[in-house]
Structure 1
């Protein structure tokens, strides 16, 4: 690079063309050439005549200067001028590029990759040995391998941020053992946070050579769940700007969307970090539907909090004898103990059983109640998924109708058992240790808890399986049984201190919290660290570095002790389950900024310098336009008008050009060339699954179907369009082929919003599970993956396609819809109730429009797939029968596309005579010509 003061040139050798400027001046000055003087007597006849359109013998000097200046500006522009470029001294020796790859790097990940790639390209041009270290904690332990820099670019481009904080190897000295000779230069593309082993690595690298740190280009934000009984969030950020928090969950139709927007409170700044408290002040019905909280405008795992039980507070209904007015009697009431235990973590409602049922609670607690008139209603509520917690007492012990009560988990003996009273020979019993894999795993049984009386259970083969807590003599203390989708729990003691001192212990509160948390897909309290240490936790749903949900099937179970360490390699942020318990592991939390003693901090705006090439080219074009205008004026006459017109056109084009550096404003959903093409022609689209072989087969299948349709029908579809559901605009499409694969990621909530709009506006999705229904499920829910993908969609009731459906005759007459497989049912929108075949008509009016969803398992794309020469890609059946099956598959595809494009018009044509007859009967004025 050539540096001239604040001006630099990337390709200075082009400046040698400026030396030709004087020669160009002479050439242009000689144009047009001087006239040659010849003696011709007849010229005297022309004396006195005046030339109305004289031609200049010499080009005017100002026009020459204009042209010379324009050419010189073009030469300077293509020489790559830079204003105040960053000049780095020629470096030698090895180079180490470290890229922080935690969630904090996700917002500007592409810019980080570009900066690291530029360093690798420079090192490759200089022939420097280079190593690349992705700080995600997933690299192999051992010395770093230094090699040619261009070999590392592919690995850099394939890397992605992770759903945990950046992590470096534990032993920097061991990792730097094989560094080649020479001073080691380090470029550290940092995320701004203080991660594990960062200080040790910085010290070790500073001893070996210069360290350049590239700081993050935007503020860092994170969201965490605040500790305490009242559920709340905390917004952390390196700037003081508050950001709204989106509460996301399924709406009543099951579609995930924004349910509420929370506003942060007053900020508190300390150590360069600003914290905003965010109260979750929402009705319980709405709060219980929330699955995640997310910082608005941020796309990283640290800005997402998966909802657990501290957020989804349960509504608990208390039913029992009302407290007495006297203070002493109130302290003896069972409801007093239950109220004190449940109010910090639940929304408690009290009243009669009928009133409590009307509030739609999640849990109902009955304190010594039996034979209530609303028992049938209560049983139905339990069957629908409610949790009923009952406490024993003197009323239940004296009842002779215990055997007739349907809402008890076990059969009880009347009368109860007195094991610590004045008339008993035994001593009070303590609590046995809780099971390691049960609901109360991890809770300690205090030695001072004593049970003096209890209701006894009748011996039964299933008694041990229904006992979740017992006394030291193995008699049940708490039993539980499932009833439909709900469950019934019985404490064999009272809810007050009459039969035991359990209600006045801290264990009583913890046990009730666990029970209430287990109702309706709960998540236990994160604060119970001992709860995590009991067993393996299986990941159910995990996040990637951008905060998007991913399938967790490939992850192994995690030890409870490891889960307590937070997100990391092998255990990303997400939801984990152990038996009946579910735990949310969130990536965000308090921020700790990194410091870089001894390192050089690279300014974000300094990297390449200001490029002067675009403005120089624009100025040169303007000068050439002026040259064209001036030449036209000099030519006069017709050439004046033509030249002026051309100059005006050139000037208009220049004015329409954007200013240097200006960019069009990006739309929320970028429309690429493929989408624009799909809007201009009938384009068949398919969903990208992430599996190359499946996506290639989808493309070949739709290409083959389009080729056959072009030959046989008036419809000429274009090339298939590949659709990424998270980014594509579906408004220009009419047909979408969706192959279902096991490892297919679930689209984002915004993608489902666009999909539902696509279905409502007349589009169709063909779901193809491609398995031929080998499992024999025989319904539209042919796989768990299909259920998960289609659950948020507005899918109408489905039924197997009947023989008289429009799909059987929209172009060809068909009886079956084979693909590579055949004989399996194909499902579409169910016909409306009462759709009967009219007398004398072969078809019914099944529905007014096109079925938005068609589901099958026949692998149609495999049967349609043709290569570039028109040869089938995959075999179908055997011999002639197989080719006939392929032909019928093509006919089904043509019928399907015709059905999408024309709707039920053929079904309407069949009913035209009947419709006209009805109109004639009603009006008496319409006559049909025979």
Structure 2
């Protein structure tokens, strides 16, 4: 390739024709032959006469230059000009080896990497060189060198993998002894063995690297700590301050995945780590299935959740002396009240509850256990369980032999306990000390009114301070903890009821139990608890962070999951065994990002260089335009460019190059014919295929009910793109609101407002059951959408609104859920006329109806008319679906007929039916 500044030429020899352009002057002067001059005296008689058809004696200079420019543009076009061509490689016949890391870190700009590899392969092919291709996430195999065309086909089908290579040094052993040039497209991360492999490439020929400066961002698995979900992210390289949004996603009550919460993490300047928290209620936390960084389509920016954030199973095992009839004296009463909202409680004997594999076992005033029960409980704790014990009279009266340690207690106990505040006590009741920083209760506020009147005491020892996680104001332990195997044993040195302290009566007791229960490992155990089990994959992630079904993948062993390193045989995703689910993510809690370091002198190419662009097309277009200008100029000079001829020429050019708008007009006409041929219900496209398909199925079901029960015979529903399609053809639009759908453009807002002003109606459905007072992501998105619409003041549907009686008599408007529904508010002066049970509300049709009841799911049917989604339970659900259909019928009839039901003609009949 020959370079001329930023432009290169693939066939530079054709440019040698440019110096020959002056020959065009001679050619134009020779053809036609120049006229000969002959002097004839009779010419004087012709002086003063004009010739109708004048012919130029010679070609004008400007026309000659025009033709030379057209020919020059054609020559340059066929010379293969390229803007910003790739730097020319050194002249060599050595093969070219293209090396691609192919990890999740490449996924964000994968198309650009493939384009760069294609460019290198094409350049090598033009030079007659063979090309090889390896992806380092594959198993090491000797590279095979092929033609550039074959490599281009392989590159087109190449995709990144959702893991990183285990050891790159294994590739150095299969490279062979031949010489070749290496072009390495790096993900920017330092993987094990990278230095050895780079040295191997450098020993076999020149090595160059492509590495984009775009930062790599990864999300660590979330953990629940200190009462909140803790989030942590990494980036490489650490640059200027940067904010990222982490979206917490999970199913809504309808089972549709959506964003449930969002947190902002901030990377400080020069920092490669950012942290944040999400304080979520338990019922919302139990729904979470994944966290993802917005705008980062990589598997490293996605973290799947398993049972670690879900509800725990807590077994309550009381003493044999449970109080009968006196609930407030029961050792387990306050425990039930505190843990029931966030845990599933199990009752029974110790041997029975262990069979249910609980996450936490609570013993209230149990001093000693039988040998078999103690061994079974100790094994369960060692496998990862949390044993939570409470003191009481029986534990205080128990005695242990000198030097005897109970493995099911965190510390040795003194017999008898300690009384505070009584006639025979050592002093006044004690309050609690603030929680230390290393305690799981750190950060909780200690109420002044919480006091302790009796407790069991711990024997002093070297480990007592380390095992104390809560203490009284005088320093005596209140709660102690000991790790046993993969689990832990925790002891409250007071009773679980209010007999020894006021702690169970306070909100602090609930918070302390929540901290202890939620840090328990669901399913029991750390990595060692996975050993000996087999897990089946449920979902796996690709390199772009998209979840895919894992139906055809084999099961994996617990040992492989315990290693926690994804690879070709263990993709990141969700794995389950019976009732336990384990998430394997690309990153782990101890993951760090290290930048790749290259041998000295290795050229590293970034993404700052402009993209290579062929210029053959623009030059050919310029040559064609100049030739057309030459034709018009020649016609003008010859005097044949009259008005009629010019018009015919323009018409010919227009027919030869039809305007693209003609095709758009045809599509618009087809849409208009389809929309107006018969009455059709329509829904707004959201960009979410699942939501759009559900809306289509819902309107299909409602259309069927209208056809069966009314004189309205609608056709198949249609999908409407508010940016492109005309809205005036439809009387009614159903708009399911999603959390991430784009806001309408200015032109779309204009069309929407015209639609609302001219009698159209939009049913906005946030599909969130109207929960959280309008704070769901869908409700917030609706507020943004509605900010540009001319929506009148709204109010909940009053009992005498015309929607309650348009076709059916209704008082509720359910869909898949039941929630509030909003319509245009009545005028302030609306009043009931004499003799009428209803006010004349809303003289026109309400332009909008807003709710979150997921009406489309209740209306939806499949192609043969069978309901597609469940609604409610049993006969109650069938009744709710029927009322949802009736609401839809009332809504459409209200749109088509207006408020004629507000007049007095129908009052007697309505009164009679209401009386029935």
TM-score bin (small chain): 0.5 to 0.7
How many equivalent pairs are there?
645
Q: Distance in 2 between matches of 1:416 and 1:444?
A: 17
Instruction: Please identify, of 591-600 and 143-152, the stretch whose mean Cα deviation from structure 2 is larger.
Output: 143-152
In structure 2, relative to structure 1, the CA distance for the partners of 1:4 and 1:235 (3 Å cut) is closer
* 2:597 equivalent to 1:595: yes
Assess if the C-alpha contact under 8 Å between 1:164 and 1:587 holds in 2: yes
Q: CA deviation at 1:47?
A: 4.2
In structure 2, relative to structure 1, the CA distance for the partners of 1:81 and 1:378 (3 Å cut) is same
Report the counterpart of residue 549 of structure 2 in structure 1.
551
In structure 2, relative to structure 1, the CA distance for the partners of 1:800 and 1:626 (3 Å cut) is closer
Q: Secondary structure at the match of 1:62?
A: helix
Q: Secondary structure at the match of 2:593?
A: coil
Q: Distance in 2 between matches of 1:30 and 1:76?
A: 26
Q: CA deviation at 1:643?
A: 6.0
In structure 2, relative to structure 1, the CA distance for the partners of 1:149 and 1:523 (3 Å cut) is farther
Q: Deviations over 1:350-385 (max 9, x none)?
A: xxxxxxxxxxxxxxxx99996259999999999998
Q: Secondary structure at the match of 2:8?
A: strand
Structure 1 vs Structure 2 CA RMSD: 7.1
Q: CA deviation at 1:575?
A: 3.1
Report the counterpart of residue 74 of structure 1 in structure 2.
74
Q: How does 1:631-780 map to 2 (within 5 A)?
A: 634=637, 639=642
Q: Please point out which of 208, 216, 220 is paired with 2:216.
A: 220
Q: Deviations over 1:677-726 (max 9, x none)?
A: 996886999xxxx9xxxxxxxxxxxxxxxxxxxxxxx9999xx99xxxxx
Q: Distance in 2 between matches of 1:226 and 1:827?
A: 33
Report the counterpart of residue 99 of structure 1 in structure 2.
100
Q: Secondary structure at the match of 1:432?
A: helix
Assess if the C-alpha contact under 8 Å between 2:80 and 2:614 holds in 1: yes
Assess if the C-alpha contact under 8 Å between 1:223 and 1:234 holds in 2: yes
Could you tell me which runs of 5 or more consecutive residues in structure 2 were left unpaired when the two chains were aligned: 350-359, 397-406, 410-453, 468-478, 491-510, 676-681, 684-688, 690-712, 730-737, 745-761, 766-815, 817-851, 910-916
Report the counterpart of residue 204 of structure 2 in structure 1.
208
Q: How does 1:238-257 map to 2 (within 5 A)?
A: 238=237, 239-250=239-250, 252-254=252-254, 255-257=256-258
Report the counterpart of residue 188 of structure 2 in structure 1.
192
Q: How does 1:906-917 map to 2 (within 5 A)?
A: none
* 2:281 equivalent to 1:279: no
Q: Please point out which of 537, 540, 544 is paired with 2:538.
A: 540
Report the counterpart of residue 56 of structure 1 in structure 2.
56
Assess if the C-alpha contact under 8 Å between 2:365 and 2:395 holds in 1: yes
Q: Secondary structure at the match of 1:108?
A: helix
Q: CA deviation at 1:596?
A: 1.0
Q: How does 1:401-800 map to 2 (within 5 A)?
A: 431-432=374-375, 441-442=383-384, 497=456, 504-507=480-483, 510=488, 524=522, 528-533=526-531, 535-553=533-551, 554-560=553-559, 562-578=561-577, 580-588=579-587, 589-598=591-600, 599-605=602-608, 611-613=614-616, 616=619, 620=623, 634=637, 639=642, 794=854
Q: Secondary structure at the match of 2:247?
A: strand
- What TM-score comes out, normalization by structure 2 length? 0.53
Q: Distance in 2 between matches of 1:142 and 1:674?
A: 55
Assess if the C-alpha contact under 8 Å between 1:243 and 1:296 holds in 2: no
Q: Deviations over 1:51-107 (max 9, x none)?
A: 588543222112211221232123213312246642213332343322111110001
Q: Distance in 2 between matches of 1:538 and 1:834?
A: 35
* 2:137 equivalent to 1:161: no
Q: Please point out which of 341, 344, 350 is paired with 1:387.
A: 344
Q: Secondary structure at the match of 2:215?
A: coil
In structure 2, relative to structure 1, the CA distance for the partners of 1:728 and 1:205 (3 Å cut) is farther
In structure 2, relative to structure 1, the CA distance for the partners of 1:678 and 1:196 (3 Å cut) is farther
Q: CA deviation at 1:9?
A: 1.5
Assess if the C-alpha contact under 8 Å between 2:532 and 2:557 holds in 1: no
In structure 2, relative to structure 1, the CA distance for the partners of 1:832 and 1:175 (3 Å cut) is same
Report the counterpart of residue 700 of structure 2 in structure 1.
none
Assess if the C-alpha contact under 8 Å between 1:518 and 1:581 holds in 2: no
Q: CA deviation at 1:275?
A: 2.2
Q: Distance in 2 between matches of 1:677 and 1:235?
A: 53
Report the counterpart of residue 327 of structure 2 in structure 1.
371
- What TM-score comes out, normalization by structure 1 length? 0.52
Q: Distance in 2 between matches of 1:628 and 1:16?
A: 27
Assess if the C-alpha contact under 8 Å between 1:442 and 1:533 holds in 2: no
In structure 2, relative to structure 1, the CA distance for the partners of 1:828 and 1:611 (3 Å cut) is same
Report the counterpart of residue 265 of structure 1 in structure 2.
266
Assess if the C-alpha contact under 8 Å between 2:385 and 2:520 holds in 1: no
Assess if the C-alpha contact under 8 Å between 1:625 and 1:650 holds in 2: no
Assess if the C-alpha contact under 8 Å between 1:7 and 1:84 holds in 2: yes
In structure 2, relative to structure 1, the CA distance for the partners of 1:382 and 1:681 (3 Å cut) is farther
Q: Distance in 1 between matches of 2:346 and 2:489?
A: 12
In structure 2, relative to structure 1, the CA distance for the partners of 1:300 and 1:65 (3 Å cut) is same
Q: CA deviation at 1:624?
A: 5.4
In structure 2, relative to structure 1, the CA distance for the partners of 1:752 and 1:4 (3 Å cut) is closer
Q: Secondary structure at the match of 2:220?
A: strand
